[in-house]
Amino acid sequence: MPMRALSVVAVALGLVATAAATPPGGGLTLRAVRAASAIEIDGRLDELAWRAALPVGGFLQRDPDQGQPASEPTELRVLFDDHALYVGVRLQDGTPGAISRQLSRRDAVAEADSFALFLDPHHDHRTGVVLEVSAAGVQRDAALYDDNFEDVTWDAVWESAVTRDEQGWALEIRVPFSQLRFPSAFGHAWGLNARRVVHRKNESSWLALVPKNESGLVSRTAHLEGIAEIRPGRHLELLPYASARAEYVEPPVSGDPWNDGSRYAGGAGLDLEYGLGTGMTLVGALNPDFGQVEVDPAVVNLTAFETFFEEKRPFFTEGSQVFLRFGRSGASDYTTYFYPEPLLFYSRRIGRAPQGQATSAFVDSPASTTILGAAKLVGRTHGWNVGVLDALTGREYARIADGAARGELEVEPLTNYFVGRAQRDLGSRAAIGFLTTATIRDLRTPGLEAQLPERAFLGGVDGHVFLDGKRDWVVSGGLAGSTVSGSPAAVLRLQRAAQRYYQRPDAPHVSVDPLATSLSGWSGRLGLNKNSGNVTFNAGLWGISPGFEPNDLGFATQTDRGGAHAQVLFRKLTPDRFTRSRKLAIAKWWTFNFGGESQGDGVQLSSSAQLRNYWQVDLTLGKSWNTLDDKLTRGGPTTIRPGASVLGLGLSSDARRRFWTNLAFVAQDRELGSTSRQLLTTFNFRPFTALTLQAAPYWLHVKTVAQYLQTVLDSTATATYGRRYVFGGLEQREIAIPLRLNLALSPKLSLQLYTQALLSAGDYPKVKELAAPRTYDFPTYGVDVGTIAPDPALPFYVIDPDGGGAASAFRLPVPDFNFKSLRVNAVLRYEFRPGSAAYVVWTERRQDARNPGDPSFSRDLGDLFRVPADDVFLVKIAWWLGK
């Protein structure tokens, strides 16, 4: 890690911070009053204590007419006692029968009237929480970070209740101090803001207005005074769970000793949370279970890079905001163009599917790695926002059988994962942060030792500096370094991996070292952003060195890349005669490798407008020019990357209606023949307030001139360095039909159903080879060069590249495919007491690959429903113990 660079960044940020200005907090001041009597959370505001609290109103519109008084008056009052904060709100409405009261599951953004409370208990103008309640009584909460952003994965245990009458509706909220983090002091000044949404009017109004064309959310809160003689005291919350699982696999394979068609298992574990009373919280998990988490969608990936899936497991998502946005702090907008930004911490590495392989007649390998235990420490202490996570995953073994022989093979070693993050404001105009990760494996078998690094470490520093007192112009960025070590075979595998391809024969800036036992590299980005105004600016410069390797606990698809971009955004967010808002962005971008060769060069224009009827239209135009491509041959010589023209169109209807839709069409035409067409649609229907139906089908048609298939050693292929790089002309058709049903029977009881049918077929009518480096010339076998014939017994082609000359014939598996998948996930959730829930889950998977290269929608969809299914049923109960 370049320590000199870290020191320079830290000193520069510190110097700028010496001229810190006062944060732009709101000028409005509210006063909380200690409750003189007990308050029952029933939504009625009829206790005597509420009369002692001064009402505050004067809400201003953000939408549709920014700065105008709210069309419906709102008043709120704030009380507290030794244990909790209370907020009472009276939301008047001249048409109470028109109040939208859509039921939804907890944490969903409902199409309903709502009230949101924003709190900044640390009064640091950068972090806080938002607690939202709909007119139907459904709760939503999120953590606020970096002044502008929400982390919706944060969950707290708090109380609320609503009532409706002839004057509108009323709301009571009780927030236990145990759910908030704040410093110890006799008296407290907090930040507070509030937002009301009147759904039928598409109106949002704020207590302290947050303008649409300016940055800052937490820093614009009003000041809440009067809270005194409370303590952030220590507290302990326990969430034990028990589960039962049944799995049915069809059909059981004859002779497979590990699969008789059914499996049954039970489990138990514990999540715990301990508030340390200093603004820090310790969160732990023993044998965590994630059976209620929605399944990942099926994908067809024809690239050399792994597919990214979002984290959905509660232990890792809750409080994750402290680990996010490395190198992005301070900027309200983060725009990049063709930057394969590495994710330095990717929690799905913890508990991943075993990486080792076992081969035998019958193999039973676990689908995931067992997390023996995990702990997080997050919060704020002595001016630092801190997050530390450590997790230990166990050894995993695949059971194997061949005839009467039985055995086990280790497919994942005992592994410890660690990540630490710390951020600190340097006054109000600068901040600095640090991040480190470590992966340590106990490798005991030769197979895993040859595949995986034994040690992997990463460290980085990031931060931002505001260049003006308004915190409008900001420079932000980060620099990270990585080093991994292991056996020569494991490091050689990393050198030859798709992220870097050190074996490229015409890339003099990289080379393979078969004796190396370590690999090191760096990644960095520097950005300039104008945060507010009707004209904003964004520019960035970035680089990822060839040896950068974060993938043991991060996610990166490419290295050996650098780039830059600049964007100007013109926007007008106030209504005119035809539109309510409109935007136009113009950008220029470049990418290159560390050999100094251009890998991308283009421009893009993006525009959008919201019409007066709340429909939205979008238009995107893009153009790139021919450059070079050092990854197309997957370790072979560089080729030409054909330039492209891109057209994107979008249309969205008014989401307040019972039926609303989004349509998007993207067309790309590359020089030299490749094309793609994609249509994405979303149809939403709400037949009544408790039920929402969504269908999001998409259609894809791709014609690719050169899709990589195989590399063949051949000493006669002198033009391509002794190897033949085999490609196919691909025509791919894909249809996916994701469906969702959300049924909220009450604010505590909900049913979610998710299904995805995926039909993807690819036909390769031509098989080709690369003629020469730095070209896009692919002569076709059997037409331009050589011969090709099907193997009479097996699904292979027999290819003679020079038609009887000196070159040897080789075999190629027929690459045509027809992948069909159906995934179903249903979750019934009942919150039987605050923080405690019961789940009933059903998951089904079907998969089929018949008729490769021959798509037929009706036949393939029918085949998908006729193939055997794997079904899993789960019952889980989690009981919250705390106060």
- List of domains in the chain: 32-231 (2.60.40.1190), 280-287+307-560 (no CATH)
CA distance 518 to 456: 9
CA distance 400 to 176: 53
Closest CA to 513 of 527, 498, 529, 493: 493
Between the alpha carbon of residue 7 and those of residues 424, 460, 465, 540, 578, the distances in Å are: 16, 12, 15, 22, 53
CA distance 58 to 81: 26
The residues near 627 (Cβ < 8 Å, ≥ 6 apart) are 597, 598, 599, 600, 601, 640, 641, 643
Closest CA to 766 of 734, 803, 799: 799
| CA-CA-CA-CA dihedral for 492, 494, 495, 496, to nearest 10 | 90
Half-sphere exposure of 587 (CA within 13 A, CB side): 29
Low-confidence spans in the chain with pLDDT less than 50: 1-25
Report the pLDDT value the prediction gives residue 2, as an integer from 0 to 100: 42
- Three-state DSSP state, 546: coil
Query: Where would I find the beta strands (DSSP E) of 42-148?
Result: 60-63, 74-80, 84-92, 114-120, 128-134, 139-145
Give the sign of the dihedral formed by CA 497, CA 500, CA 506, CA 508: negative
**pTM of this structure:** 0.85
- Residue 859's H or E segment, with its range, is helix 857-866
Report the pLDDT value the prediction gives residue 14, as an integer from 0 to 100: 38
Burial class (CB in 10 A: 0-12, 13-18, 19+), 439: buried
Closest CA to 641 of 586, 597, 603: 597
Report the pLDDT value the prediction gives residue 429, as an integer from 0 to 100: 87
Between the alpha carbon of residue 673 and those of residues 598, 731, 765, 769, 816, the distances in Å are: 21, 12, 15, 16, 20
CA distance 870 to 852: 23
Is the CB of residue 387 less than 8 Å from the CB of residue 376? Answer: yes
Residue labelled with tokens 């245990």: 157
